Structure 1
């Protein structure tokens, strides 16, 4: 029986991808989060938070660089 993958980006949740499934952040289980191609590409380019969390509180500007502080 084949399991259905789900993008672990809570704002996406896609069960399909236009490209390959990509690996994301490490999880407590020791595995890596499974991301669709769009979300995984943003994660690989280090722009994941800017793309998906830009409207959340906690963003700080420092010398033309925006950082998300948790």
Structure 2
């Protein structure tokens, strides 16, 4: 019981994880915007390289394409 209490207190002290805003105009800091842009571009590149695999089925291709379109938005 004490271990659970200590673990919960330690988690409360941690800073909340910063996630990227859903809409671009919500970001007012240029440095953070550049960081998130690079993160999105890496994800898009990774998914494009997956699409180039000729062994993928049609269903997987459509899913990857949808995910890329969401990231571009």
Question: Normalized per residue, which structure has more helix?
Answer: 2
Q: Above 0.5 in TM-score? A: no
Higher relative contact order (CA 8 A, sep 6+): 2
The structure having more radius of gyration, on CA atoms, is 2
* TM-score, normalised with respect to structure 1: 0.24
Answer 1 or 2: which has greater strand percent: 1
